[in-house]
Chains A and B, each alone.
Chain A
Amino acid sequence: MSGARSAILERMRASLGGVASGDARRAAVETRIARHARNLVPKRGQLEPRARQALFVEMAEKAAASVERVASASDVPAAAAAFLARHNLPPKLKLAPDAAVAGLPWERHPLVKIETGIAAPDDRASLTPAFAAIAETGTLMLVSGPTRPTTLNFLPENHIVLLRASQIVGAYEDGWDRLRAEAGSGWPRTVNFITGPSRSADIEQQLQMGAHGPKRLHIILVADDGDGKT
């Protein structure tokens, strides 16, 4: 199929190459990628932290996610246990094997059975850490890694996400900047932007929740930014 490769590229060059010199075209491409400049970012994606957090919550709830604010990370196990009880779910939770969630004081809730690892088909609920969240549309940004398996975001019917207030950014571009800074020369296999729970309107355009992914998306928002207490 290398024949196809050169044929496709040759045909493109024949149609396009006459426009400008090869060097000028190559420079344009290299510069654009190296600069990765932002295009227009809507005003709503450029708010101050307090307004940004309010917008995130508003947009996430509009997308049918539920958001619960807690004062500190040590409150997360209680909030997660209450979520399971509220929805009559078995007291069992699959955690991402990440210190941000697995390192929380779960021993205070001995009735909730805690496991860590990838999602199994019979897991009913998972808890994973967010990488960032985008206020503009109420979107979570989750990034795969050794302690953050992706299946936890999709297989269980109930997905709980731990988000720290300081992780809320205005626009997707801010999320990319944070990821570029963290990833360095490596790059994660998967970046998931998640806006509310799974849904489909494929039957007569009637919106139904819980198509293949989670039926519920619950965001536990931890105040860690000094002014996030409400």
Chain B
Amino acid sequence: MEATSHAFKSNARHALEDAQLQRAMTKLGFREARAAAAARLPEFEELRDQGRDIKNHVLAHLDLYLERYEAELVKRGGQIHWCADAEEARRAVLAICRRLKAKTVTKGKSMVGEEIAINEFLEANGIAPVETDLGEYIIQLRHEPPSHIIAPAIHLTKDQISDSFFENHQRYGKSRRLEEASELMAEAREVLRAKFIAADVGITGANFLIAETGSSVIVTNEGNGDLTQNLTRAHIVLATPEKLVPTLEDATTLLRILARSATGQEFSVYTTFSTGPRRADDLDGPEEYHVVLVDNGRTRLLGTEFQEVLRCIRCGACMNHCPVYNAIGGHAYGWVYPGPIGAVLTPALVGVAEAHDLPNASTLCGRCESVCPVRIPLPKLLRHWREREFEAKIPPARARWALKLWAWLARRPALYRLATRVAMAFLGALGRRNGRFRSLPLAHGWTDGRDMPAPEGPTFQALWAARRGGKP
């Protein structure tokens, strides 16, 4: 999809003023569910360590695991399409659909599908893609991108969804505006059931690829990904290289932490391992099984300080726990992946010039890292992006000079102590009457949104020194 990350600041401002969005965001209930699920499994923290180690091992041997995976996949009748970028991946999908003369394509939820904007491309080529995950279906009707990687319609209220169904389902003879979530889901089930049965090709993503067996794995609660792949002539899997794991046992370990981190479930309802097309004596299943393996900038990150981001298993825990994401929702981030993972991934995949605001939209509070199932050090990676931006002279000259000045001062402790003592005493005297400043020169970015408290008494360093008996 087309990135609008460069407009992050105005996107965020609009999000904060959007009453519907703010109401919808209060419903985000994943945090409590995750905490409860983690507490129920005494081994959870140790499993996170192992999840991290499995992914690190794979990344260090990725070329070899890919070759093995390909061999197993082909041995079992599957086909693999290697694609360097989004354009090649779109072409590969279209070629399969054209050969099968496909008119309708059902889709399970795939973030890679969003990344390569497959829906728009298929539409432009006369093929109708139908999203079947309930949340994805809703946002497809509204021509919106997802705002969360596992709950794509989290930004919408029930009323907005009612309006969209009322508007779009009249052509199926549905003329009543529905009020209840249960009615909305029943209507979507009915409408989409006909699409599943009519579809020629089914596209899903992959949570994992398994080198040992050449399998792909999807995880859903709705069962839409299974209807998608079982009722069509061809199953196309959109996947990226870092989804690879060595063995069924390794996939199992990661599955133990995935659902718990995402929705707080012990296990998702449907975890499906797919290996090749239907066998000669099978009664159902797709006749063709294709994996469109798209790199789209990922291997560029191997061997760099950003390699650890490739461990991500797309659970969404980092955004669920992010105070910034919770305040502005996912759309403000302007591309496929929102929240902390998006703030690290987007500059890597669409460029730091486009996405330079995202790594700065964080207080580095560390909640994301504390809940990440594979322990990606997201705050550290955000800081790496800030350093790269500084080197690329992306921050405005004034900010860069201020940072340089601060760095110069911070390297001279005696001078630093003197300067802060003088500045604090001065500001303290100036603000004594009100106890706070409504505005400060050079600090409007801060005081526009809140008051700056006036300093009281000595500096922190002075207090600390006094407490330790005068030793600095």
A residues with a Cβ closer than 8 A to B are 1-5, 7-9, 11-17, 19, 25-26, 28-29, 32-33, 36-40, 42-44, 59, 62-63, 97, 117-119, 121, 136-139, 144-146, 149-151, 153-155, 172-173, 176, 186-206, 208, 210-214
Q: Are A197 and B269 CB-contacts (below 8 A) given A11-B299, A150-B285?
A: yes
Residue of A nearest to B66 (CB): A9
Among B226, B241, B281, which residue has its beta carbon within 8 angstroms of that of A146? B281
Contact check, A192 vs B224: say whether CB atoms are below 8 A apart: no
Among A8, A144, A206, which residue has its beta carbon within 8 angstroms of that of B241? A8
Contact check, A1 vs B81: say whether CB atoms are below 8 A apart: yes
Contact check, A189 vs B184: say whether CB atoms are below 8 A apart: no
Residue of A nearest to B152 (CB): A202
Contact check, A203 vs B184: say whether CB atoms are below 8 A apart: yes
Q: Does B248 contact A (CB under 8 A)?
A: yes
Contact check, A154 vs B299: say whether CB atoms are below 8 A apart: no
Among A42, A151, A211, which residue has its beta carbon within 8 angstroms of that of B134? A211
Contact check, B222 vs A189: say whether CB atoms are below 8 A apart: no
CB neighbours (8 Å) of A15 from chain B are 299, 302-304
CB neighbours (8 Å) of A203 from chain B are 134, 138, 153, 158, 161, 181, 184-185
Residue of A nearest to B75 (CB): A187
Shortest CB–CB separation between residue A133 and chain B, in angstroms? 12
Contact check, B63 vs A12: say whether CB atoms are below 8 A apart: yes
23 contacts between A and B (CB under 8 A): A5-B82, A9-B66, A12-B241, A25-B61, A29-B61, A29-B68, A32-B57, A36-B246, A40-B50, A42-B43, A121-B197, A136-B266, A154-B230, A188-B279, A189-B279, A189-B282, A191-B273, A195-B269, A198-B223, A198-B270, A199-B221, A199-B222, A201-B221
Q: How far is the CA of A137 from the CA of B285 in the complex (A)?
A: 27
Q: How far is the CA of A147 from the CA of B310 in the complex (A)?
A: 40
Contact check, A204 vs B158: say whether CB atoms are below 8 A apart: yes
Further contacts, 9 of them, CB under 8 A, given A12-B299, A15-B302, A42-B43? A11-B302, A16-B303, A145-B282, A187-B76, A190-B273, A191-B275, A198-B221, A204-B27, A208-B185
Contact check, A190 vs B285: say whether CB atoms are below 8 A apart: yes
Residue of B nearest to A157 (CB): B189
Within 8 A of A (CB), among B182-238: 182, 184-186, 189, 192-193, 196-197, 211-213, 215, 221-224, 226-227, 230-231
Q: How far is the CA of A43 from the CA of B40 in the complex (A)?
A: 12
Q: Are A146 and B283 CB-contacts (below 8 A) given A11-B300, A195-B268?
A: yes
Q: Are A211 and B275 CB-contacts (below 8 A) given A12-B62, A12-B302, A39-B253?
A: no
Contact indicator per residue, chain B 270-312, by CB within 8 Å of chain A (1) or not (0): 1111111111011111000000000100011011100000000
Contact check, A192 vs B272: say whether CB atoms are below 8 A apart: yes
Contact check, A150 vs B222: say whether CB atoms are below 8 A apart: no
Shortest CB–CB separation between residue B435 and chain A, in angstroms? 41
Q: How far is the CA of A26 from the CA of B67 in the complex (A)?
A: 11
Shortest CB–CB separation between residue B230 and chain A, in angstroms? 5
Q: How far is the CA of A107 from the CA of B231 in the complex (A)?
A: 32
Among A37, A204, A212, which residue has its beta carbon within 8 angstroms of that of B227? A212
Contact check, B181 vs A211: say whether CB atoms are below 8 A apart: no
Candidate in B24, B47, B64 with the most chain A CB atoms within 10 angstroms: B64
Q: Are A2 and B82 CB-contacts (below 8 A) given A33-B247, A144-B285, A213-B226?
A: yes
Q: Does B29 contact A (CB under 8 A)?
A: yes
CB neighbours (8 Å) of B420 from chain A are none
Q: Are A187 and B185 CB-contacts (below 8 A) given A40-B47, A146-B281?
A: no
Shortest CB–CB separation between residue B316 and chain A, in angstroms? 13
Q: Which 6 pairs across A and B sit closest by C-beta, in order of nearness?
A: A213-B223, A15-B303, A202-B135, A211-B222, A5-B82, A15-B302
Shortest CB–CB separation between residue B17 and chain A, in angstroms? 21
